[in-house]
C-alpha cells in the first residue's frame, strides 16, 4: 500500500511538473535606448560624409593630442598625411597594374617598376601640396590639446603631375598614352570612392 501511494504521489507530481516544463512564451525585453544605457554621443570634428574621398578628391582626417598645442597639430597632420599617402598609393598601384596589363609593352616588369618609382616621387611631391579643409582645436579636462583636421588632394592635379613625370621618361614615353592612363586612373578613383562608403 505504501508503494502504491508513493507511486501515485510521484505520478501526481509529474503531472504538475510537466506542464511547467513547456516552453514559455518569451516576453520581449523592454527596448532600451543608448542614452538609457549610459551611452553618450561623441562628436568627432572634421569627420563625416562631407570628408569622404570622392572620385575627384582624396581626403583623410586625423586627431592629434599633446600637452603642447603645436605638437598636437603636427601629430594630426602626420597621421592625416600618412592616411592620404596610403590612399594615393592604393589608387596609383591599381592604376599602374591595370594600365600596364592593358598595354602591349615589351618588358612589362621593367616598365611597371619604372611607373611605380615615378609614382613614389609624385606621392612625395603631392603630399607637400595637400590642403587643410577643416581644423578644430580643443583643450581636454586633462589640460592637453587635441587637434582635429582633414586634408584633401585633387586627383586631377595628381594625375597631371604624374602624367608629366611619366612623359619625361624616355623609355616610358615611347609607349605611354596619357589619355588611356588618365581613364584607368579615373576608374580606380571611382572604385576607391565606393570602397570608402
Residues 170-188 have pLDDT tens digits of 766 666 777 888 888 888 8
Residue 134, burial from CB neighbour count under 10 angstroms (0-12, 13-18, 19+): middle
CA distance 84 to 73: 16
Please give the pLDDT value at position 178: 76
How do the residues of the chain divide into helix, strand and coil, expressed in percent and rounded to 5?
A: 60, 15, 25
* pLDDT value of residue 146: 96
Query: Which pLDDT score, from 0 to 100, does residue 123 have?
Result: 73
SS3 label, residue 35: coil
Provide the residue range defining the domain that includes 180: 49-195
- Let me know the angle formed at the C-alpha of 52 by 50 and 55, rounded to the nearest 5 degrees: 110
The order of strands in the sheet holding 131-139 is 57-66, 145-154, 131-139
Q: With CA atoms as reference, report the closest residue to 157 among 185, 136, 133, 176.
A: 185
Relative orientation angle of helices 69-102 and 108-128, to the nearest 10 degrees: 150
Q: What is the pLDDT of residue 147?
A: 97
Structural domain count of the chain: 1
Instruction: Tell whether the model's pLDDT for residue 122 goes beyond 90.
Output: no
- 115's grid cell: 611607373
Check residues 55 and 164 and name the one with the higher pLDDT: 55
Q: Does 112 reside within a domain?
A: yes
> In 3-state terms, what secondary structure has residue 146?
strand
Q: What is the pTM of this model?
A: 0.70
- Is the pLDDT reported for residue 150 higher than 90? yes
103 in a structural domain: yes
For residue 195, the SS3 value is: helix
Look at residue 37 and tell me if it is in a domain.
no
Could you give the residue ranges of the DSSP H alpha helices within 59-195? 69-102, 108-128, 155-168, 170-175, 178-195
SS3 (DSSP) at 36: coil
- In the predicted structure, residue 55 carries a pLDDT above the cut 80: yes
Q: What is the pLDDT of residue 6?
A: 52
Q: Do 190 and 53 touch, CB atoms closer than 8 A?
A: no
Give Dmax (Cα) for the chain.
Answer: 112
Q: Is residue 10 part of a domain?
A: no
Is there a domain that residue 33 lies in? no
> What is the pLDDT at residue 143?
94
d(CA 113, CA 151): 29
Q: By CB neighbour count within 10 A (0-12 exposed, 13-18 middle, 19+ buried), where does 80 fall?
A: buried
- Is 12 within a domain? no
The pLDDT tens digits for 6-43 are 555 555 555 555 555 555 555 455 788 888 888 888 88
Amino acid at each position: 500500500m505504501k508503494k502504491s501511494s508513493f507511486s501515485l504521489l510521484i505520478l501526481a507530481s509529474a503531472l504538475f511538473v510537466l506542464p511547467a516544463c513547456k516552453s514559455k512564451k518569451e516576453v520581449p525585453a523592454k527596448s532600451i535606448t543608448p542614452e538609457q544605457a549610459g551611452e553618450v554621443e561623441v562628436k568627432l570634428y572634421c569627420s563625416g560624409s562631407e570628408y569622404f574621398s570622392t572620385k575627384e578628391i582624396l581626403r583623410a582626417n586625423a586627431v592629434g593630442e599633446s600637452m603642447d598645442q603645436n605638437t598636437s597639430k603636427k601629430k594630426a597632420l602626420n597621421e592625416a598625411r600618412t592616411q592620404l599617402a596610403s590612399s594615393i598609393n592604393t589608387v596609383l598601384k591599381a592604376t599602374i597594374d591595370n594600365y600596364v596589363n592593358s598595354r602591349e609593352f615589351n618588358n612589362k616588369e621593367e616598365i611597371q617598376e619604372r611607373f611605380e618609382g615615378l609614382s613614389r616621387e609624385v606621392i612625395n611631391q603631392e603630399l607637400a601640396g595637400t590642403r587643410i579643409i577643416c581644423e578644430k582645436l580643443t583643450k581636454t579636462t586633462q589640460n592637453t590639446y587635441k587637434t582635429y583636421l582633414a586634408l584633401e588632394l585633387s586627383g586631377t592635379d595628381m594625375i597631371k603631375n604624374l602624367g608629366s613625370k611619366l612623359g619625361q621618361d624616355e623609355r616610358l614615353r615611347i609607349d605611354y598614352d596619357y589619355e588611356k592612363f588618365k581613364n584607368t586612373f579615373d576608374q580606380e578613383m571611382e572604385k576607391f570612392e565606393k570602397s570608402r562608403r
